[in-house]
Amino acid sequence: MDKEDRMDYQQAIELIKNNCPDKEAIKYLLMTSADEAEKLFALANRVRQEKLGDEIHLRGLIEFSSHCNNDCLYCGLRVSNVSQERYRLSYEEILAAGAVAYDFGYRTLVLQAGEDLFFDGEYLGKIIKDIKNKFKDIAITISAGVRTRATYEKWFDAGADRYLMRHETANEELFRNLRPGTTLSERINNLLILREVGFQIGTGNMVGVPGQTMDILVEDICLLHQLQPDMVGIGPFIPHDDTPLGKHSHGSIDLTLRELAIIRILLPYVHLPATTALATLAKDGQLRALNVGANVIMPNVTPTEVRALYSIYPEKAGSRENSVSTHSRIIELIKTANRTIAEHRGDSLRTK
Ligand code: 5AD
Ligand code: SF4
């Protein structure tokens, strides 16, 4: 390739601004100089401001079970980690956490757990139904892993609105290595089934998980563009001592911010959280995410007594707080970022 043909910043930006997931352009932006990255960040912030305004959506996170059937190499909740104490919240505890979130003004609840079949179509369905009956203007997001279509349908019919299931990595081989016994195509197929059933869907990936190359991260972004999800969750990998990947280093904050910014420009209306993993690695991690396109925060409302046991990675931000202190910290963050809090459910804007 001669010099004239080589990608430059302006060309790369034009391509992604025109919603073209050009691999070379994406790779250029992921790897470009710090000065150009600052321009990318400013543009993403402008796109967020123009398309979505200053509202931040708060989604109250209830980590209702730390049991998991899977054995993902990166996660502290993997079934092989026998040193991990496990818990399940009771029906009453889940409804009480929902009430706490509602009183804070949150209008979405995210019910998240490992793949724990104890919470089946019927039982979690009842919980969903009862929450929706009690709080009429709340949306429910489920994040409980790969299940059968019949289970998804039960939860949807009970009133669940959205489903989160990160694709984790877009490389089939790396996926198989990191998530033994499962495949990327199965996971993507499940996302498509969830959409067919009627859910708004969320997916996403980790940044810097061992084995990920720059080209694989480009593939992650291309897959996100292809799937056109309603939400995209992106966070840096954080090593957990009690896993086979415990000795690796954590993912880069800067690279995570670059991916967030690219996604905001490529998928302008997508809901994009400033993730807890960013807050865990840096005090200003979430603030920086809010300044490069993020428009969602998921404050934890899980009872304090079990927070530390939901240990997907160690020292998760907020794991020593209670729901009131987490709420106050998030309110301060939003003030610092000069943003406002949405007072409605914040449904998908994708079709705009
Ligand atoms: N570091 C960062 N993120 C992790 N997750 C699981 N383990 C880790 C880790 N060690 C993420 C996965 C999962 C989400 C709930 O948490 O992407 O989808
Ligand atoms: Fe289970 Fe999810 Fe952790 Fe994998 S990432 S072990 S599915 S909780």
Question: pLDDT per residue over 267-287, tens digit each?
Answer: 999 999 999 999 999 999 999
Q: How far is CA 274 from CA 73, 124, 224, in A?
A: 24, 27, 17
Spacing, Cα 216 to ligand 1 middle (Å): 17
Residue nearest to atom 16 of ligand 1 (CA): 312
- Contact 327/104 with Cβ under 8 angstroms? yes
* Degrees to nearest 5, angle at CA 110 with 105 and 112: 145
Answer yes or no: pTM beyond 0.75: yes
Residue 186: burial class (beta carbons within 10 Å; 0-12, 13-18, 19+)? exposed
183 φ, ψ to 5°? -125, 155
- State which ligand 2 atom lies nearest to the alpha carbon of 312: 3
* pLDDT average, residue stretch 335-339: 98
Contacts of 18 (CB under 8 A, 6+ apart): none
Spacing, Cα 5 to ligand 1 middle (Å): 39
- State which ligand 2 atom lies nearest to the alpha carbon of 68: 1
Contacts of 112 (CB under 8 A, 6+ apart): 61, 62, 63, 64, 143, 144, 164
Spacing, Cα 143 to ligand 2 middle (Å): 11
**Percent of the chain, pLDDT > 70?**
98
Q: How far apart are CA 321 and CA 95, in angstroms?
A: 20
Spacing, Cα 298 to ligand 2 middle (Å): 18
pLDDT band for position 6 (cuts 50, 70, 90): confident
- State which ligand 2 atom lies nearest to the alpha carbon of 114: 8
- Contact 128/110 with Cβ under 8 angstroms? no
pLDDT of amino acid 350: 82
**Which residues are near ligand 2 (CB < 6 Å)?**
68, 70, 72, 75, 77-78, 114-115, 145, 312
Residue nearest to atom 5 of ligand 2 (CA): 75
pLDDT band for position 5 (cuts 50, 70, 90): low
pLDDT band for position 266 (cuts 50, 70, 90): very high
**Which residues are near ligand 1 (CB < 6 Å)?**
74-75, 166, 168, 206, 235, 237-238, 240, 277, 312-313
Instruction: Take residue 126 and report the two structure tokens written for it.
Output: 């009842």
Instruction: Report DSSP state, residue 337.
Output: T
Helices (H), the chain: 9-17, 23-31, 34-52, 91-103, 121-134, 149-158, 172-178, 184-197, 214-227, 253-266, 276-281, 285-290, 304-307, 323-336
Which residue's entry shows tokens 């993730």? 275
Q: How far apart are CA 94 and CA 89, in angstroms?
A: 6
Residue nearest to atom 4 of ligand 2 (CA): 72
Give tens-digit pLDDT for 230-265. 999 999 999 999 999 999 999 999 999 999 999 999
Q: How far apart are CA 120 and CA 132, in angstroms?
A: 18
Residue nearest to atom 6 of ligand 2 (CA): 78
Which residue's entry shows tokens 């998991």? 68
pLDDT of amino acid 1: 46
Q: How far is CA 5 from CA 8, 175, 332, in A?
A: 9, 34, 47
Spacing, Cα 1 to ligand 1 middle (Å): 39
- State which ligand 1 atom lies nearest to the alpha carbon of 165: 18
Residue nearest to atom 8 of ligand 2 (CA): 114
Q: Is the dihedral of CA 100, 296, 188, 249 positive or negative?
A: negative
Residue type, 295: N
